Each structure stands twice: as structure tokens, then as C-alpha cells.
């Protein structure tokens, strides 16, 4: 089963990468109010059980894929590469 | 008091200040063997552990996030839980926060630039194994060199750490090189036996390096480790 984990800096956390992207987009002439940069992790799990996969992915996020102090995550199934 | 306290320095793949740290500690009177990250035990007679600077695992995912899963880190965590002294410098600080042994998190510098320069630091509490040789409020000059040194804690956590005196090192007013909250350069855990800092004391132990202020911090650790040897006997 394939899943995609989206990791974002939590609201209120300074995101200098996002600021740099936002300012560069403006430089290109785009009208942008804000941009935030996160991370995407595609995971291929061996289980076909959706609930089991969800539980495993949540544990992955808590133990490694995110730092809960500064990042939030979102799990999507069937998306990604 | 001629005993050389054993203070191993852990080497992760991508560590690059391990030998500098060991040399500085040896010069200050410690026995500082290098320990590989896959070792499953600290050397016998260990009185303190240093996690050195560098770029463990290429800073993949988040700085320190992979290294903290190394076999040796289980031993370091157990050692710290028993009150053992643990010092993390730069990448070592990042590993300790990722491991949950120190509060807060370290993120990309606000400027997104790598900074490499001497910075003035102000010492907080001196009643700790890492600052015994300093005076309260003393100003130290020690270099930083990092791209991800922006320490973050939310306002509640920061207030708690300030109240408990865990902010042991701050950048001098107006000199914060990375945008860290509260100008924090180094913090301890609640028990004050684990300390992490972004500046590199091991690069400031000889007049040839421009400053010897780093020796005050590392020398404090050697003194404290020597005292703990005495208490074991």
C-alpha cells in the first residue's frame, strides 16, 4: 500500500525557506501573500490493511518523520509517485 | 587529583569535530577516547560523554534525527538518566534535542546563511557541571559555525526554562547569529547533567585560535567528571 506523508512547519513557526520562496515568487511577478515550505515522504508499506497502514504511518511520524514540537503532518493514501 | 577522568567522544558518520573535541579535552586533563556510533556500550569508567559537532548522516531529514537512533545513543540516554554528564556541541546539541534529552528544537538559521564567526556569549547559571569555572554573567568569546542553529521553543516552554534557570548560555545583545528564540545559545535539562550548545568551545582552547574561553566550559566538565570519579571510589 502506497502512502504520502506531508510534513509542514506548524503555524506560527518562522519559516525562512518559505519567506525566501515567497520573495522570489514576487520577484518573478507573481502576486503571492505567503508561502511555506515543508517536506513530502512517499512510503510503500507491505500491508494492504488501511487501518494498520494508518497506525504505522502515525507511529513513523511521531518517532522519525516529524519533530512534533515544530512540525505537523498529514497522511494521504494513493497519492504520490 | 592526578587521575584523568574518562570522557569519550562519540563519532557518528559525518561528525567532523570529534578529534578537535578529544584533543581539547585531553589538553584539559581528560582521557578522551573516540567511540564509534554502532558501539553498544560506553567504555568502562566513563564519567562524561561528549557528542561532537559535524553533519551526522548528511543532516538528512532533520539535523540529528537519524543519529539519535544510533545504538550508542541508547547507552547515552541510559547514562544521562542515571545522572551521567552529557555535553552536545552543535550537531551534538541537535542530536540531544532530537533524542528528547534536551528541550526545544534546532532549525535553519533565520538568515538561511551558514554562519562562521566568533560570537560573544553571556553565561547564565554557574552552578552547573558545565560552567563551574565561569562567573555568573561572564562574557565569553567562542566561535559558531552552523546552518541550523536557530533554537526554538514556544513561549510557554521558554518561560519554564527561564524560570528554572536552564538557559545557560545566550548570545550577547544584538549579536544573535541565527535568530534563536530568546538569544538562546545553550540549554540544560532539568537535572542539569545534560547540556547542549551551538558554539564550539573545542575551537577556543588556545591563544592561537583567538580565544581560550572554550576551556572554561570544557574545563568545568573535566573538573566535574573528576569529582564524579572521586565519588565512585
CATH number of the domain within which A30 lies = 3.30.1280.10
Q: Which residues of B touch A35 (CB under 8 A)?
A: none
CATH number of the domain within which B113 lies = 3.40.50.880
So what's the ipTM on this one? 0.87
Q: Identify the CA nearest to B33 among candidates B67, B62, B2, B72.
A: B72
User: Residue B134 domain-assigned?
Assistant: yes
Instruction: Say how far apart CA A54 and CA A4 lie, in whole Å.
Output: 11
Enclosing domain of residue B216: 9-232
pLDDT on residue A81: 45
Q: Identify the CA nearest to B129 among candidates B22, B32, B226, B6.
A: B226
How close does chain A come to B155, measured CA to CA in Å? 11
Contact B146, B114 (CB under 8 A): yes
Count up the domains in chain A and report the number.
1
Neighbours of A25 (CB within 10 A): 13
Count up the domains in chain B and report the number.
1
The verdict on B116 touching A (C-beta cutoff 8 Å) is no
How close does chain B come to A17, measured CA to CA in Å? 7
Residues of B serving a catalytic function are: 90, 200, 202
Q: Model confidence over B98-143: pLDDT tens digits?
A: 999 999 999 999 999 999 999 999 999 898 999 999 999 999 999 9
Task: Name the band, by pLDDT with cuts 50, 70 and 90, for residue B231.
Answer: low
Q: Model confidence over B19-57: pLDDT tens digits?
A: 999 999 999 999 999 999 999 999 999 999 999 999 999
* Three cell numbers, residue B106: 534546532
Instruction: Say how far apart CA A18 and CA B138 lie, in whole Å.
Output: 37
Closest residue to B112, CB basis, from A17, A64, A69: A17
User: Residue B3 domain-assigned?
Assistant: no
Count the residues in chain B.
233
The verdict on A28 touching B (C-beta cutoff 8 Å) is no
- Residue B146 pairs in a beta bridge with B115
Contact B70, B39 (CB under 8 A): no
The verdict on A81 touching B (C-beta cutoff 8 Å) is no
Contact B87, B52 (CB under 8 A): no
Q: Quick check: helix, strand or coil at residue B41? A: coil
The model carries a pTM of 0.94
User: Residue B21 domain-assigned?
Assistant: yes
The verdict on B160 touching A (C-beta cutoff 8 Å) is no
Instruction: Say how far apart CA B52 and CA B10 lie, in whole Å.
Output: 7
> What Rg, from alpha-carbon coordinates, does chain B have?
16
Enclosing domain of residue A26: 2-77
Segment (H or E) for A51: helix A50-60
* Three cell numbers, residue B15: 561528525
The verdict on A69 touching B (C-beta cutoff 8 Å) is yes
Query: Which stretches does DSSP call E strand in A1-81?
Result: 2-9, 39-44, 71-77
Q: Does B112 contact A16 at a Cβ distance shorter than 8 Å?
A: yes
Q: Does B179 contact A16 at a Cβ distance shorter than 8 Å?
A: yes
DSSP annotation of B83: T
Q: Does B65 contact A70 at a Cβ distance shorter than 8 Å?
A: no
pLDDT at B1 over 60: no
Amino acid at each position: 500500500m502506497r502512502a504520502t506523508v506531508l510534513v509542514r512547519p506548524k503555524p506560527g513557526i518562522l519559516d525562512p525557506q518559505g519567506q525566501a520562496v515567497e520573495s522570489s515568487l514576487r520577484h518573478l511577478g507573481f502576486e503571492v501573500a505567503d508561502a511555506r515550505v515543508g517536506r513530502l515522504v512517499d512510503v510503500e508499506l507491505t500491508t494492504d490493511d488501511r487501518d494498520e497502514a494508518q497506525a504505522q504511518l502515525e507511529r513513523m511520524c511521531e518517532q522519525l518523520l516529524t519533530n512534533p514540537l515544530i512540525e505537523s503532518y498529514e497522511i494521504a493514501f494513493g497519492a504520490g509517485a | 587529583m592526578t587521575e584523568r577522568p574518562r570522557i569519550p567522544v562519540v563519532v557518528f558518520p559525518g561528525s567532523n569535530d570529534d578529534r578537535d573535541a578529544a584533543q581539547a579535552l585531553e589538553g584539559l586533563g581528560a582521557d578522551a577516547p573516540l567511540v564509534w556510533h554502532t558501539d553498544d556500550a560506553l567504555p568502562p569508567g566513563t564519567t562524561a560523554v561528549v557528542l561532537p559537532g559535524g553533519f551526522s548522516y548528511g543532516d538528512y531529514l532533520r539535523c540529528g534525527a537519524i543519529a539519535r537512533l544510533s545504538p550508542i545513543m541508547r547507552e547515552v540516554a541510559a547514562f544521562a538518566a542515571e545522572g551521567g554528564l552529557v555535553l552536545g556541541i552543535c550537531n551534538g546539541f541537535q542530536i540531544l534535542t532530537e533524542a528528547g534529552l534536551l528541550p526545544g528544537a534546532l532549525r535553519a538559521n533565520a538568515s538561511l546563511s551558514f554562519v562562521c564567526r566568533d560570537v560573544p556569549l553571556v553565561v547564565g547559571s554557574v552552578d552547573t557541571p558545565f560552567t563551574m569555572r565561569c562567573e555568573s554573567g561572564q562574557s565569553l568569546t567562542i566561535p559558531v559555525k552552523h546552518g541550523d542553529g536557530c533554537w526554538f521553543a514556544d513561549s510557554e516552554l521558554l518561560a519554564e526554562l527561564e524560570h528554572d534557570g536552564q538557559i545557560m548560555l545566550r548570545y550577547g545583545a544584538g549579536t544573535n547569529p541565527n535568530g534563536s528564540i530568546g538569544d538562546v545559545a545553550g540549554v540544560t535539562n532539568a537535572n542539569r547533567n545534560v547540556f547542549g550548545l551551538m558554539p564550539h568551545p573545542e575551537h577556543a582552547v588556545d591563544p592561537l585560535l583567538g580565544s581560550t574561553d572554550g576551556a572554561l566550559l570544557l574545563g568545568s566538565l573535566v573538573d566535574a567528571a573528576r569529582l564524579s570519579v572521586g565519588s565512585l571510589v
